[in-house]
Amino acid sequence: MLRHYDAIGLLRPAKVDPTSSYRFYEASQLAQLNRIVALKDLGFGLEQVRSILDENVSLEQLRGMLTLRRAQLAATLAEDAARLVQVEERLRTIESEGRMPTDEVVVKRLERARVAELTDTAASLTPEDIGPVIEPLCARLGQRLGELGIEPTGRLTAYYEQSADDQSPDDSDRITIHAAVPVAAGTQEVHGLSIVDLPEVERAATIVYRGSMDDVLPTWQALARWIDANGYRSAGPVRELYVECPEDPAQWVTELQEPITPA
Amino acid sequence: MLRHYDAIGLLRPAKVDPTSSYRFYEASQLAQLNRIVALKDLGFGLEQVRSILDENVSLEQLRGMLTLRRAQLAATLAEDAARLVQVEERLRTIESEGRMPTDEVVVKRLERARVAELTDTAASLTPEDIGPVIEPLCARLGQRLGELGIEPTGRLTAYYEQSADDQSPDDSDRITIHAAVPVAAGTQEVHGLSIVDLPEVERAATIVYRGSMDDVLPTWQALARWIDANGYRSAGPVRELYVECPEDPAQWVTELQEPITPA
DNA sequence: TTGCTCCTCACGTCACGTGAGGTGGC
DNA sequence: TTGCTCCTCACGTCACGTGAGGTGGC
């Protein structure tokens, strides 16, 4: 460590023997070393430590650095706490099931995206109710895009909202189904297609599902259990990203996405 | 990231175009990528991820890895929490005093050390009571070591214990002063000198003091305030390590050491 | 004379990120 | 023809740790 600080000029020995190149330090340098170590222990890098020691930073800048560090530490702390919960959950799974899950849930950020979409409603979130509605919806969406000459920039996404519309009491517990396809950011409203922005989602629990959408429900339920077991809760409408949709429905690859927030 | 995983053979593209070298992945590889990301997010390194994916680790080993990871995360969390408290304390100091302290307190581990020592008692921990006792004590210790031909392996350390000895009620609130000098680990008991092991101290708050021991009290008090303000409490007898003791007492350099534990 | 401690390079760590310079398909 | 995206090296990151090979003072 002292060799390194000598090499980068952070703490030079008080004396270096010319023939043996031995480094000699004075007791007074111990205080200086302590300042370095104390600042380093706060999590500052050596270059930052150097600026602070050389008094190249004003009190205001110093306060800024400390405030930033505080925010970084708070973020790291939250991440590590979440990691710890996940590790513990895996240990529990090993104890109870004798194996580790291979259907991996990944927490990720979802980018904001401008989409062209069509909507319809269904009675519930079960595949029996969704399927007959979403299939023609997607077909119509694809046709409209073709007619209007709009080029999709990504994969089809479906998302589902609980209608909170009191104007039509009969429909108040129906689900609104959105079939959405990402388009170029500059795309403007056009006749017969809604252009909306899917909001950015800070954290979403995601899982890849492979198979027919008729049998997706257990995977959605597994995702819900994961969210609960790992200290999160649902936070917003769920999405299905159709990654690959070949002829054979059993070969479909879908990413299920559920926005979450720490419970 | 995908280029990196390809380079290290963790996740190879399903197909590579022979002429353009473009990498092509299949949707089914998304599940594999998710497994990698999920394990990586737990804090495992890529080599560990590879072993787990290749099923080169038994369930028992896997449990061991997770248990270790849990311990590491718990340790990291505790360290970062302590760091955060220290950053916040510094921000408070800047607000109230308009500057950052330059007498830096460093938390460090103290190694176990075999020492040769002599003891005496004093009425209190004030320099007026300690000084007249410790000075002759150190002189006698030096003389004994010389007579016995024992070579010190480090610097003189003093440490102080509140006597909890009920056998001599009059002395029960007197301080026991130890003057100790480190010696080779194999040194055995000799006549007229106690050979004892100073215990290892997991965490001690330390500060370097420069000046006569007559004026050390404010620095001890500053250390005590630091300990309190940074979420620790005292945990064991304090020590003074005499780093440099030239003729002029004002030039002495001493490291004050106080064992601590999270409050 | 033999350990012992110190020295100087030089390279490794870890998971990518970042240019520089180049190229195939629309 | 012009962007655009992808490609391949090669080097940087950060604070040291770790040998390899060598040397001065007891």
Q: Give dist(CA B136, CA B254) in Å, integer.
A: 18
Q: How many CB atoms lie within 10 A of CB B152?
A: 15
Average pLDDT of chain A? 90
Closest-CA residue to B100 (of A58, A199, A215): A58
In the complex, which nucleotide's C1' lies nearest to the CA atom of residue B21? D7
Q: Which nucleotide lies nearest residue B3, CA to C1'?
A: C16
Closest CA to A27 of B258, B209, B110, B238: B209
The pLDDT assigned to B33 comes to: 94
Residue in A37, A80, A207 closest to B77 by CB: A80
The band of A165, judged by pLDDT with boundaries at 50, 70 and 90, is: low
Q: What is the pLDDT of residues A169-226, one digit of tens each?
A: 555 678 899 999 998 877 777 778 889 999 999 999 999 999 999 999 999 999 999 9
Quote the CA–CA distance of A26 and A36 in Å, as a whole number.
16
> CA dihedral in degrees (B71, B75, B77, B79; nearest 10)?
180
Q: What is the pLDDT of residues B89-133, one digit of tens each?
A: 999 999 999 888 887 899 999 988 889 999 999 988 888 999 899
Chain B nearest-CA distance from A259, in A, is 17
Q: Looking at residue B253, what is its pLDDT?
A: 93
Q: Report pTM.
A: 0.88
Residue A26: closest CA among chain B residues belongs to which residue? B244
A154 pLDDT tier (thresholds 50, 70, 90): confident
Q: What is the mean pLDDT of residues A55-71?
A: 92
CA distance A95 to chain B (A): 9
Angstrom CA distances, B147 to B137, B144, B194, stand at 15, 5, 15
pLDDT-based confidence at B51, cuts 50/70/90? very high
Rounded CA–C1' distance between B106 and C10, in angstroms:
33
Q: Is the pLDDT of residue B167 over 80?
A: no
**Closest CA of chain A from B13, distance in Å:** 17
Identify the pLDDT of residue B156.
93
Work out if A24's Cβ lies within 7 angstroms of strand C.
no
Residue B23 CA, nucleotide D14 C1', distance (Å): 31
Per-residue pLDDT reduced to its tens digit, B237-247:
999 999 988 89
Q: Is the pLDDT of residue B168 over 60?
A: no
B69 chain-A contacts, CB cut-off 8 A: 87
- Identify all chain B residues contacting A69, using CB atoms and an 8 Å cutoff: 87
pLDDT at B163: 66
**Which nucleotide lies nearest residue A8, CA to C1'?**
D15
pLDDT of residue A169: 54
Residue B260: phi and psi, rounded to 5, are -135, 165
Report pLDDT for B43.
92
Q: Are A131 and A215 in contact (CB under 8 A)?
A: no
pLDDT of A170: 56
Rounded-to-integer distance, Cα B116 and Cα B81, Å: 38
Higher pLDDT, A165 or B180: B180
Residue A11, phi-psi category: left (phi > 0), alpha (psi -120 to 50), beta (remainder): beta
- B159/D9 CA-to-C1' distance in Å: 61
Amino acid at A161: E
Q: Do B62 and A30 touch (CB under 8 A)?
A: no
Closest amino acid to nucleotide D17 (CA–C1'): A1
Our measurement of CA A20 to C1' D23, in angstroms, reads 8
Q: What distance lies between CA A89 and its chain's CA centroid? A: 20
Nearest to B80 among A30, A38, A80 (CB): A80
Please state, as a whole number, how many other Cβ atoms lie within 10 Å of the Cβ of residue A153.
Answer: 14
pLDDT of residue A163: 66
DSSP B151: P
Pairing outcome for strands B15-16 and A239-244: unpaired
Are B83 and A41 an interchain contact pair (Cβ–Cβ within 8 Å)?
Answer: yes
Distance B212 CA to C4 C1' (A): 36
Protein CB footprint (7 Å) on chain D nucleotides? 6-8, 14-17, 23-25
Residue nearest to nucleotide C16 (CA to C1'): B1
Q: Please determine, for residue A83, whether its predicted confidence score (pLDDT) is greater than 60.
A: yes
- CA-to-CA distance for B149 and B143, rounded, in angstroms? 10
d(CA A234, CA A221): 12
Sequence-distant (6+) residues with CB within 8 A of B156 are B138, B141, B179, B180, B181, B241, B242, B245
